[in-house]
Amino acid sequence: MESEEKDEQVARMRHSASHIMAEAVQCLFPGAKFGIGPMIENGFYYDFELPRALAPDDLPVIEGKMREIIGQDVPFVTEKMSKEKARKLFAAQPYKLELIDEIADTSVTIYRQGSFTDLCRGPHLASTGEVKAFKLTHAAGAYWRGDEKRPMLQRIYGVAFASQKELDDYLSLQAEAAKRDHRKLGKELDLFSTHEEMGPGLVCWHPKGALIRQVIEDFWRAEHRKRGYDIVYTPHIAKVDLWKTSGHLEFYRDYLFPPMEVEGQQYMLKPMNCLGHILIYKSQLRSYRNLPLRYAELGTVYRYERTGVLYGLARVRGFTQDDAHIFCRPDQVEGEVTEVLSFVQFMMSSFGFEEYHMFLSTRPDKYAGTLSMWEEATEALKHVLEKLDLHYEVDPGEGVFYGPKIDVKLKDAVGHVWQGPTVQVDFNLPQRFNVCYIGEDGLEHNVVMIHRVVLGAMERFLACLIEHYGGSFPVWLSPVQATVIPIADRHVSYARKVEAEFKNEGIRAQVDDRSERMNLKIRAAQLEKVPYMLIVGDKEMASSGVSLRLRSGEDLGSETVVQAKNRIMAAIEAKS
């Protein structure tokens, strides 16, 4: 089957499975009221108003009933009818009546299978027997029409695939993803925490998580200096007037923490780093010969995200962007954006991401500046993407209020998609702040600002890395790179000597000097996901060697300390 045709068939199957689930629920819960039951990515859901709350035990029972209906292989039959007739048919279904009222047409279509009838545009499968492989996954509360003022319904989610194998593959990938959940691993590996006492969405980085962050930041700084960026620092709070001028107060209000008053002046936590960099630029008169100027900052910003959307490290209220602003002349924009995209590609491959997708996000509903500025900036981005022959999709309306952007979304090892780097072209803030250079003609001209991050935010990027690597970080990022394990207490001082030699070379080594059995210490290092274990006993002491093991359990046998040192240094050098 052509893949498009197959997709179409799978979409019908997912939606048909939702009707079958509704029929099962109708049999098992007389008096159930029905909301909507669309297909979604990988599956389907249906919203119900039920006489009682669902328990986890209910799902297998509903599933059993669904299998019965599928086994009976009853046809899906459609009928077109007047709204009036449909209102009678759904007289006991208030949610359906509400939907009927909203349909502009004078007639509606219904679909029927077995004892169940639904208001539906279709399309559906020919009969229930065509549903191949499905599973109900979980239930959750959902407000009718997503409106918290309307009744809370019970939503049951399911997944469905064209074959049992595809379903099994999907479920095992999900199980693997659950094992890699950064919130779970972050705790197990002692990387970070959040605290109700501190406030939701505010992250404390523990020593090991902080160490990974430092390694990334050191690498980030070095790579920026190589590429002609200057590193700067700017304050976390600033006077409200600054955010008035920028338009943040007007266009970004929903994400701002409320202002605070000091000595009669209103101050605000910064939601973005742009303005500090603008003030640094404006501290001197700049000529066309000075451009481009590239200011980079690991800048911590604060955004008010609703409690409901906060999620581990991936969605937080305080985070550090690996930010930079490039101030350039209009004729330099394409060259600079090209450089940024190649920098992005370099960073992604350094961290082991092979799959990522580019999106061109265009003008949102609330925007600043003129249409022609937006047009010009969007064209510039498009032109670079096309020149570099990069595949991209358009994300309509997803730009920031001051300009369009290219978003890069990363796919991790278990297929999750993460928001990553972005590049934004901005003609708007330079006008608002009168950010100028003196041209060859001796006159003042507005610069173009390019806002960009090459990782995203340190918090979200770490979440993504944890899940991408399942906590087994490559050697260069591992907080502890080698654990030296003395077999007996008499080997501890030799173990310390080995540790010291490694540390001298900059290798992050530790000794497990507890009076525990060797196997227990090996297990502990494996759980900690330390890449190398160096076991030392009488034989190793006598030969100035170590016995080397990997966290995978692989035994590499004996090596001299120097050989082991060189091996680990080479692995650090190689990065991913």
Nearer to Zn ion, 120 or 423 (CB): 120
Nearer to Zn ion, 448 or 507 (CB): 448
Q: How far is the CB of 118 from Zn ion (least distance, A)?
A: 6
The one catalytic residue in 224, 451, 460, 549 is 451
Residue 451 bears catalytic tag: yes
Among 295, 315, 296, CA closest to 305:
315
| Interaction between residue 385 and Zn ion (CB under 5 A) | no
The one catalytic residue in 12, 248, 315, 405 is 405
Q: How far is the CB of 559 from Zn ion (least distance, A)?
A: 49
Decide: helix, strand or coil at residue 334: helix
Decide: helix, strand or coil at residue 148: coil
Q: DSSP character for 40? A: E
Single out the segment in contact with Zn ion by CB under 5 A; choices: 136-144, 414-422, 446-454, 532-540.
446-454
Single out the segment in contact with Zn ion by CB under 5 A; choices: 273-281, 485-493, 514-522, 561-569.
273-281
The Cα–Cα gap between 253 and 208 comes to 36
Residue 510 bears catalytic tag: no
Contact 377, 413 (CB under 8 A): no
Nearer to Zn ion, 426 or 467 (CB): 426
Q: How far is the CB of 400 from Zn ion (least distance, A)?
A: 8
The one catalytic residue in 96, 135, 325, 549 is 325
User: How many residues interact with Zn ion (rule CB under 5 A)?
Assistant: 3
Among 137, 154, 136, 139, CA closest to 20:
136
Q: How far is the CB of 511 from Zn ion (least distance, A)?
A: 46
Nearer to Zn ion, 26 or 194 (CB): 26
Single out the segment in contact with Zn ion by CB under 5 A; choices: 369-377, 432-440, 444-452, 516-524.
444-452
Burial status of residue 569 (CB atoms within 10 A of its CB: 0-12, 13-18, 19 or more): middle
**Cβ neighbours of residue 380 under 8 Å, at least 6 residues apart?**
333, 334, 337, 425
Both structure tokens of 379? 């064209």
- DSSP characters over 149-188: TSPEEEEEEEEEESSHHHHHHHHHHHHHHHHH-HHHHHHH
The one catalytic residue in 323, 407, 412, 512 is 323
Nearer to Zn ion, 429 or 492 (CB): 429
Q: How far is the CB of 237 from Zn ion (least distance, A)?
A: 17
CA dihedral 456→460→462→464, nearest 10 degrees, is: -100
- Residue 89: CB atoms within 10 Å: 18
The one catalytic residue in 113, 154, 321, 510 is 321
**Cβ neighbours of residue 519 under 8 Å, at least 6 residues apart?**
none
The Cα–Cα gap between 173 and 468 comes to 13
Q: How far is the CB of 273 from Zn ion (least distance, A)?
A: 6
As a residue count, the chain comes to: 576
Q: DSSP character for 323? A: E
Residue 328 bears catalytic tag: no
The Cα–Cα gap between 85 and 87 comes to 5
Single out the segment in contact with Zn ion by CB under 5 A; choices: 85-93, 267-275, 453-461, 516-524.
267-275
Nearer to Zn ion, 448 or 484 (CB): 448
Segment 468-507, which members bind Zn ion (CB under 5 A)?
A: none
The one catalytic residue in 224, 303, 452, 529 is 303
Secondary structure in 3-state letters for 394-442: EECCCCECCECEEEEEEECCCCCEEEEEEEEEECHHHHHCCCEEECCCC
Nearer to Zn ion, 274 or 328 (CB): 274
Binding mask 512-551 toward Zn ion (x if CB under 5 A, else -) reads ----------------------------------------
Residue 274 bears catalytic tag: yes
Amino acid at 252: Y
Nearer to Zn ion, 132 or 575 (CB): 132
Nearer to Zn ion, 158 or 537 (CB): 158
Binder among 125, 131, 153, 274 for Zn ion (CB under 5 A): 274
Helix (H) or strand (E) holding 27: helix 3-28
Both structure tokens of 407? 């978003």
Alpha-carbon distances of 171 from 15, 102, 105, rounded to whole Å: 19, 38, 41
Segment 79-138, which members bind Zn ion (CB under 5 A)?
A: 120
Single out the segment in contact with Zn ion by CB under 5 A; choices: 307-315, 386-394, 451-459, 536-544.
451-459
Q: How far is the CB of 152 from Zn ion (least distance, A)?
A: 23
The Cα–Cα gap between 285 and 296 comes to 20
Burial status of residue 359 (CB atoms within 10 A of its CB: 0-12, 13-18, 19 or more): middle
The Cα–Cα gap between 532 and 68 comes to 54
Nearer to Zn ion, 153 or 296 (CB): 296
| Interaction between residue 451 and Zn ion (CB under 5 A) | yes
Residue 424 bears catalytic tag: no
| Interaction between residue 303 and Zn ion (CB under 5 A) | no
Residue 323 bears catalytic tag: yes
Q: How far is the CB of 446 from Zn ion (least distance, A)?
A: 16
Q: How far is the CB of 298 from Zn ion (least distance, A)?
A: 14
Single out the segment in contact with Zn ion by CB under 5 A; choices: 73-81, 95-103, 272-280, 511-519.
272-280
The Cα–Cα gap between 432 and 453 comes to 22
Q: How far is the CB of 530 from Zn ion (least distance, A)?
A: 39
Contact 21, 123 (CB under 8 A): no
The one catalytic residue in 12, 93, 274, 549 is 274
Phi, psi of 401 (to 5 degrees): -60, -25
Residue 332 bears catalytic tag: no
Q: How far is the CB of 466 from Zn ion (least distance, A)?
A: 27
Which residues of the chain form contacts with Zn ion (CB under 5 A)? 120, 274, 451
Q: Which residues are catalytic?
A: 274, 303, 321, 323, 325, 405, 451
